[in-house]
Structure 1
């Protein structure tokens, strides 16, 4: 058998055992391992997944899943033995017909022909979802709602949707088991990632007792003649990645011609559509006998009931609520984390919650949905995650680069990733549940690492790693979530100081080459990375760059050039320290300010923005300043009698001119700039030929 035969067998086995098809990322790793590709090669040929994520997260979980599916004594599936074990297992498997077509496969689109048409392999169907619901716990309000919609309100189409792991398939199985006696026929189809629309029609026809060549009209007539319950699971596979939620992939567009008549035409049956997103074309039809139900997480009480049979857990009501909040009440995540709490924390919720980093390994469920987002959706999620608290659309629009179309907001809401904050009144205020926020930040970090490695700022230009306007608590969380790990990544990649400095210089050149005179956060992010890594920015050229949300108070920027830089929400060093001195240029275009702390800054008068940091903090107090008439030089007199000149055009100093016996307290150029007069604290005046 070739890979396509094997993966179909594996997919059907996973559906039978786990009640779900293989995930996109699982298929990618499985095919790569089958072809003896390394994790590095797999990540390089895949958009949105890093080598670290595939190697440490997806791979181990996939081998564990395949070990369960193969179910051979003493045989553990690994990346090395994958082909031998699966070939042997498949040869003895009878789950699918022995003879399968051998299509010409496009390696970038598993399950499609070279021309991009879906493979017309048959779809398996069951009378009921192949899931044991004897231990079904919780979800009583959701179960009652579905019962009302299907059995009492006689809805023609019900869309059950929500994030991965929230229990959609389990709930569909429970309601099907509960209502099976009220229907003449029941049918469950788990849609794989790739199939032909005609295969779905054939499966439904077979399940409903129609010939394989039945048309949509004949199918609708059968739904009218007999009361049928049809469950279509895995609906998210119909939709395109990189498009707004619920946008059909091109070869699945014909399925619209099946679903829309089911929703609009009169009949006695119900189609329960199950997926992570709602079909975009069906949302306007919601109301009356077409309904939509978002499946959220467990409440604290439901979570306690759900985990009761898995062991003894101790904790207060507050602890249970915190646990549910951190995991968004997701049943799959609760199941995964239950063994951690029992084995490592002896069931003590309080001790576990004090060690929240233990939750970081549970964010893999959202990796695939996050990889499907459009760039505007990802930007919006990034801002919501960085805010660490509810934030209004108006505030989001102020910070984001470009406009924020409402369809982007609606798409995120339609994916169940963001939610409207309760009690926000007339304003639209969005927020992320804690678990979703953690998953988004983890996903962002992987993408940012790739950008830094490739030395091409994209996301790093669109979002700030650190928001200078955020509360201190939020800034601390931002540093911990993105800035510190990204800096650590650079440190690990370039442990030698010289190599690290050269890397940061290349990043700086990349920002300058891409984003001169353009709005964005790239320069500010680079400044924060350098500060985190203790890399001085002495003499670095930030002219004509947007320097947004940068904290310039932290040091290391002496001599940096900020001429014509665009500042926004930037924190500057406080120039007006003790005994400040200042001077305007002849045309009042620039103002130089020095103080007793030895700090010397140059500002643009018209904009009020910092132009250059000449001396960030010096050992000697500054007592006098003077611009040359042509603004080419700035003379600086100090407490110790030093008289220095700074070249303000081209390369700049300082150049020590001379040292006097007394502090220099007054400076003046002649009108033609040929002479410089310096007055000492003892009343002496010296004239210098320039």
Structure 2
């Protein structure tokens, strides 16, 4: 959906209710907000005051809220429109129609999106579903309620899939960092390029055989002749498969990325997806980077990894949603909690509860990083560590400066290989960060985890 479609829809919606068209300023507000501009920039471009823009915007959200929800605001306008509507090109016509595509069946969300345009990179002689509907099953996907701007990461993912034809992509990062959100947003933007899109969660730990059976049942629904294997469907159709919660089939208490007993065949499956010629894409979402992914990345251009980090200034939308005050201190709070969306939401609730939403009071009272209700989120990561990782992470928690790991500390009861493996594993879990200093790489423990470990060890 482009901005012209949005303005046209909004104009029609308001005209139906009031008999009046959008004013030029209202059109400017819609255009600017859709392009993620701030009110001061919109006011500057329209040559009026920011207060006037805010006043007109409030009226606009109230009018459009009848269609999109009473809680409509600037920060959620785009996500609400994109969730509720899409633009569908009408066959043999230059017209555009806004079609509502949410189909709720027993609270399950399934999309069937009509695609009347030729899909790129889908040769007619191999795709059995050309010019049919894109079949999308998001039953096991979480709901995308709000999406915070990740333009750079989305651009990278779209390039990998649509231009570079990457077959295997891993998006990994800390829990709650936004892996599922960016994958869902990606689906919204590229769904017309595929014949099938399916989201599967591995949190119920299915065997590979069970997973493949479910996938073949899904892919075969519109096929006259069912195919033998998943890779056959990947070759004959353009499929996008998202496997969420990959960490749930990985071992606890071992170095990062090792599979549970009986689940090692997933590694072979992923390697087959990466190295076999086909026109589809598999996206893995995980807390941890699996071992074989690093090897495949080094050997195969059809494998890419995105290590998802926190938000930057875009995280101010989270604090605005929560109704915090002292906006001049927001960036300090965001930096302290590394722009992590879930952490910021939890801490914002604490600030409301204890300081009536005052960020400055919260920061004044905190000599160290406050953990509070973040503890369960942090603990779930540390519980997965091996003994050697626990040894290293406890050592790092007591270091005041980034450390050079070329020399193993004498007081650590680990061999040099064990020490290096533990460091590498902690990096793949996003618990250790690498920084440059004096022309060499130095390492430090994630500050929030450091504060939690120090607090935990000082408790009686």
SS at match of 1:245: coil
1:331 to 323, 329, 341: 341
Write the deviation string for residues 78-103 of structure 1: whole angstroms up to 9, x where unpaired. Answer: xxxxxxxxxxxxxxxx889xxxxxxx
User: Per-residue deviation at 1:403?
Assistant: 2.4
Alignment of 1:166-185 (within 5 A): 166-185=177-196
- Relative to 1, partners in 2 of residues 1:294 and 1:312: Cα closer, same or farther, differing over 3 Å? same
1:290 to 298, 303, 307: 303
Q: Determine if the alignment matches structure 1 residue 206 to structure 2 residue 217.
A: yes
Q: Determine if the alignment matches structure 1 residue 138 to structure 2 residue 149.
A: yes
Write the deviation string for residues 22-42 of structure 1: whole angstroms up to 9, x where unpaired. Answer: xxxxxxxxxxxxxxxxxxxxx
Q: Determine if the alignment matches structure 1 residue 194 to structure 2 residue 208.
A: no
**2:262 — aligned with what?**
251
- Relative to 1, partners in 2 of residues 1:343 and 1:402: Cα closer, same or farther, differing over 3 Å? closer
2:411 to 376, 395, 399: 399
**1:238 — aligned with what?**
249
Q: Determine if the alignment matches structure 1 residue 434 to structure 2 residue 447.
A: yes
SS at match of 1:421: strand
**1:417 — aligned with what?**
431
- Relative to 1, partners in 2 of residues 1:396 and 1:363: Cα closer, same or farther, differing over 3 Å? farther
User: Per-residue deviation at 1:310?
Assistant: 2.7
CA contact (8 A) 1:397 1:403 kept: no
The RMSD of aligned alpha carbons is 2.5
- Relative to 1, partners in 2 of residues 1:347 and 1:424: Cα closer, same or farther, differing over 3 Å? farther
SS at match of 1:390: coil
SS at match of 1:419: strand
**1:44 — aligned with what?**
none
SS at match of 1:397: coil
SS at match of 2:398: helix
Q: Determine if the alignment matches structure 1 residue 271 to structure 2 residue 282.
A: yes
1:305 to 317, 323, 328: 317
Write the deviation string for residues 253-297 of structure 1: whole angstroms up to 9, x where unpaired. Answer: 122232110011111111010001122122111151200010111
User: Matched residue pairs, number?
Assistant: 320
Write the deviation string for residues 223-272 of structure 1: whole angstroms up to 9, x where unpaired. Answer: 12111110000000111111111111111112223211001111111101
CA contact (8 A) 1:383 1:396 kept: no
CA contact (8 A) 2:201 2:244 kept: yes
Q: Determine if the alignment matches structure 1 residue 376 to structure 2 residue 395.
A: no
- Relative to 1, partners in 2 of residues 1:308 and 1:144: Cα closer, same or farther, differing over 3 Å? farther
Q: Determine if the alignment matches structure 1 residue 261 to structure 2 residue 293.
A: no
Write the deviation string for residues 171-194 of structure 1: whole angstroms up to 9, x where unpaired. Answer: 111111211111111000011243
User: Per-residue deviation at 1:126?
Assistant: 3.1
CA contact (8 A) 1:128 1:173 kept: no
CA contact (8 A) 1:325 1:434 kept: no
Query: Greater RCO between the two (CA within 8 Å, min separation 6)?
Result: 2
Of the two, which has the highest radius of gyration? Answer: 1
- Unpaired runs of 5+ residues, structure 1, are 1-93, 97-124, 446-481, 490-690
1:361 and 1:256 mapped to 2: Cα distance?
36
SS at match of 1:422: strand
**1:314 — aligned with what?**
326
After TM superposition, the score normalised by the length of structure 1 is: 0.44
Write the deviation string for residues 625-644 of structure 1: whole angstroms up to 9, x where unpaired. Answer: xxxxxxxxxxxxxxxxxxxx
CA contact (8 A) 2:319 2:330 kept: no
1:381 and 1:343 mapped to 2: Cα distance?
32
2:195 and 2:455 mapped to 1: Cα distance?
48
CA contact (8 A) 2:371 2:452 kept: no
SS at match of 2:437: coil
2:267 and 2:321 mapped to 1: Cα distance?
43
Write the deviation string for residues 553-584 of structure 1: whole angstroms up to 9, x where unpaired. Answer: xxxxxxxxxxxxxxxxxxxxxxxxxxxxxxxx
- Unpaired runs of 5+ residues, structure 2, are 1-105, 109-135
1:366 to 372, 375, 378: 378
After TM superposition, the score normalised by the length of structure 2 is: 0.64
